[in-house]
Amino acid sequence: MTNATATRLQTISRSCLVIAASLGFLSPLALGQDPASAGHPPPPSATPSPAAPPAAAAVSFAPSAPNVVEGPQICLLGVYILGLRDLNSAEGTFTVDFWVWSQSTAPDNILANLQFLNAQRITIHSENIVESGGVRWAKRRATATMRQQWDMSHYPFDRQSLKMDLLYTGRDARHVIIRPDTANSGLADGVHITDWKVTGFSINTRPAVYSSNLGDPGQTTGESEYSGLIAKIDVDRAEVNGYWKLLSSLIVGFIIMLVSFFLEPDAPGPRYGMLGGAMFAAVLSWRSVAPTLGANGTVADTIHYVGMGIMIVAILATFLLSSLARRGVPSRQLRYASYLFALVSLVTFASISAVLLSQVKS
C-alpha cells in the first residue's frame, strides 16, 4: 500500500470517528481532543477534577427569610391625667385632659389604632412619634368627654370610679398584647375637682373577647381577642351642699305644713290652703331629683316620699280636727292635738332622714 493510500484511509477513519463522537456514540476524549474544542461538555464523573468549582458555587442567591419572632409583640401603654372637670351624673359624663403614649418594637402604630370605647368625643391637641434603637415611641395630648355609669346608691356620700376604656384594634392578641406602663402613669400634681376629692388612680389590662373572628381569614376559630387597658380615677364627693339644695323645696314645704297646725282647728280653710301649697312644693322638688342626679331610687327620692307621706297624713288630720270641732270638742283640746301632731311629724321626718343618711354613708 502506498503512502498516499494509507494517508487517505487514515483521514477517512478519523472523519468517521469525529462523526460518531458528534452523534454521542464516542467520547471526544477517544480522539485525543479537548472537550471544549469539540463543543461538548465533559461527561459526568464521580471524581471531580481539581479545576472544578467548589460546591458552594451552586447555592441560590435568593434573599433569605427574615427572622420571625414567635409569639405576640408586647407593647407598653401609659396614661397621665392632667385635669378633671364637668362631672355630670345626670348626663353620665366627665371630661378629662391627659397624655397617652406607647412604646413598641412592633411595626404597628399603636396610637393610630387605639380606641377609647367610652369616649363621647375626643380632641387631639398634639402627636409625636420617635423611633430610636428599634423602639417606636408615640405620644398624644388630648381632651375627652367620657361616658360613665354612675353609682348613686350612696348619694350624697357616694364614691365614683371614673373609667377610661382603651382597646387596641389594629391586630388581635395573637400578634400584639398591651401592657400598662404603671411606672410612668398617674395623676399630675394639683389635679382638683370642685366638690370632689381625688383618692386614687390605677391602670390595668382588660382583654376584649368576641364570639366572632371578625372575618379574619387567618383565624381558624370563631372567636377573637384584642388587648386593652382600663384607667380608673377614684373620687369621693367632698361636700353635701348640693344635697341640701336638692331638698330645699321639700324642706320649705314641710315647714309650711308645720305652721298650718298652729292655726285655729275650727277654721280648716287656711289650713287646707297651706297644706296644698306644701304638697305642691314637695312634688315639684321630687320631680327635680331624677333629672338632677340621673338616677332613681336614691336616698333623696326616699326622703321626698317620707315628706309627702307625712303631708298626706296632715291633710287627713286637718279633716279629722275640723270634724271634731263641728261636734263641739273644745278648741283648747284641738289646739293641743294640733301641736302634738306637728311635733310628732317633725320628729318622725328628722329621725327617718337621719337613719337613711347614716345607711348610705356607711
Q: From 3.40.50.300, 2.60.40.10, 1.20.58.390, 3.20.20.70, which CATH number describes the 241-361 domain?
A: 1.20.58.390
Which among 169, 171, 111 is positioned nearest to 140, based on CA atoms? 111
pLDDT for position 14 = 64
Which among 299, 297, 156, 147 is positioned nearest to 236, based on CA atoms? 156
Q: From 1.20.272.10, 3.40.50.800, 2.70.170.10, 3.30.310.50, which CATH number describes the 73-237 domain?
A: 2.70.170.10
Cα separation of 308 and 249, whole Å? 12
Q: Could you tell me if residue 265 is left (phi over 0), alpha (psi between -120 and 50 degrees) or otherwise beta?
A: alpha
Cell digits of residue 61 = 442567591
Q: Which regions of the chain are under pLDDT 50? A: 18, 25-32, 34-69
pLDDT for position 15 = 58
pLDDT for position 215 = 87
Q: What is the pLDDT of residues 138-175, one digit of tens each?
A: 999 999 999 999 999 999 999 999 999 999 999 888 89
pLDDT for position 95 = 97
User: How many CB atoms are closer than 10 A to CB 93?
Assistant: 20
Span(s) in the chain for CATH 2.70.170.10: 73-237
**How do 176-180 and 73-88 pair as beta strands?**
parallel
**CB burial readout 290-303, b (16+ within 10 A) else e:** eeebbbeebbbbeb
Cα separation of 28 and 26, whole Å? 6
Span(s) in the chain for CATH 1.20.58.390: 241-361
